[in-house]
Amino acid sequence: MPETAPSHSNSFFHNDPITCPVCSHKFKREVMRFGHGRLITTDTDDELKQNYKFSKKFGAIYPYIYNVLVCPECWFATLVEDFSKKDFYDYANLKTDTRFRIRKARELFPQAEFDVNRTLETGLLGYFLAMICYTYCNDSNFAHGKKSIAAIRASWCAGELHHLHPESSYDILKQYFRYTSYLESSNHLATLYADKSKQRISIELYGPDVNKDMGFDGFLYLSSYLNLEFLILEPSLIEQYKRLEKISYTLSKVFGLGKTSQQKPSILTNKARDLYENTKLKIDAFETENTDLVRKIKAEQSTTTSLVG
């Protein structure tokens, strides 16, 4: 693969130029280098993010900051696999709104540029721009799914930045992106369940990590995990209980309750099973504390089932 002389040891700019579909600007994509002990894995966290050991030779490396492609001229941005898709976006309005998205992005990082080596800051900003740009996608359900993936990776960038700068407010930004990821994943899944013909068709790579795609099951797990995290924001106890039941059911599908799951990564099935058990404990506690309410909900569900049948 052709490459220019690296500007630093962990990435290089590919010689083959990319043409921006919005403004026609030609630019070179920055690609992360692999090998020579750069990436030594440690663990996978509960959001399915792969973590790595700090390297004395290469420093800290964050592979996901390179998987969002940004035009350095008009700041059109998507995940790498979606940048050059034909007739996929409202290009006219994307071009018209160029100043808007650049202005919104510079509110976060005023000095950011995308014609230099990627950093955690521009990695985060790239995903933020992608979330804006997916709004112009012709397939709204595709947009929801991709914005969820972009948002969770933006939260990872914010989390690392907060680790480096604990006195900052990056932890608030991290929670904002996590919450956005939860909302967008919920919208995406709601559409899929309403029209099952779209399932696994509109999105090729669900991630959420860039080095190991966990597929649709990984997306289901992450959505369930975030749903549980933000359950407290639901003011209705009835809706809380219904969501707990739905989370439990979804997770049982992910790890294959009562079935073999040899084709699924063990890290995913193990985490899904652990989260399932935690959810069941929450359901048991809820039922103990809200006996009359649960009885009412069960009665309504039984009535609905009999009417449908």
Residue 309 has pLDDT above 90, yes or no: no
pLDDT category, 28, cuts 50, 70, 90? very high
Residue 114 has pLDDT above 70, yes or no: yes
For the whole model, what pTM was predicted?
0.90
* DSSP β-bridge partners for residue 13: 30
Tell which residue, 276, 278, 279, has the closest CA to residue 257: 276
What is residue 301's predicted lDDT score, i.e. its pLDDT? 73
Residue 26 has pLDDT above 90, yes or no: yes
Residue 259 has pLDDT above 70, yes or no: no
Write out the two tokens for 291.
Answer: 């006996």
pLDDT category, 192, cuts 50, 70, 90? confident
What is residue 180's predicted lDDT score, i.e. its pLDDT? 98
Among left, alpha and beta (phi > 0; psi -120 to 50; other), residue 212 is beta
Query: Is the distance from CB of 218 to CB of 268 less than 8 angstroms?
Result: yes
The Cα-based distances of 7 to 34, 111, 177, 198, 223 in angstroms read 15, 20, 31, 43, 38
What is residue 4's predicted lDDT score, i.e. its pLDDT? 37
What's the mean pLDDT when you consider all of the chain? Answer: 88
Q: Cis omega before residue 2 (within 30°)?
A: no
Tell which residue, 210, 211, 169, 161, has the closest CA to residue 60: 161
What is residue 182's predicted lDDT score, i.e. its pLDDT? 97
Q: What is the mean pLDDT of residues 51-60?
A: 80
Backbone phi, then psi, for 290, in 5-degree steps? -135, 55
Task: Please say whether the dihedral angle defined by the alpha carbons of residues 82, 84, 88 and 89, taken in this order, is positive or negative.
Answer: positive
The Cα-based distances of 164 to 14, 210, 277 in angstroms read 29, 22, 34
Q: Which has the higher per-residue pLDDT, 120 or 264?
A: 120
pLDDT category, 308, cuts 50, 70, 90? very low
Q: Which has the higher per-residue pLDDT, 304 or 132?
A: 132
Residues in the chain, overall count: 309
What is residue 22's predicted lDDT score, i.e. its pLDDT? 96
What is residue 305's predicted lDDT score, i.e. its pLDDT? 52
Least confident of 42-46, 58-62, 141-145, 211-215: 58-62
* DSSP β-bridge partners for residue 52: 41
Cα–Cα dist 120/81, whole Å: 20
Half-sphere exposure of 251 (CA within 13 A, CB side): 25
Query: In sequence order, what DSSP letters do the residues of the chain get, joined into one string?
Result: --BPPPSBTTEEEBSS-EE-TTT--EE--EEE---TT---EEEE-TT--EEEPPBTTTB---GGGGSEEE-TTT--EEEGGGTT-TT-B-HHHHHHTHHHHHHHHHTT-TT--SSS---HHHHHHHHHHHHHHHTTBS-HHHHHHHHHHHHHHHHHHHHHHHHH-TTSSHHHHHHHHHHHHHHHHHHHHHHHHH-GGGTTTS-S---SSSSS--HHHHHHHHHHHHHHHTGGG---HHHHHHHHHHHHHHHHHHHTTTS--TTS-HHHHHHHHHHHHHHHHHHHHHHHH-HHHHHHHHHHHHHHHHHH-
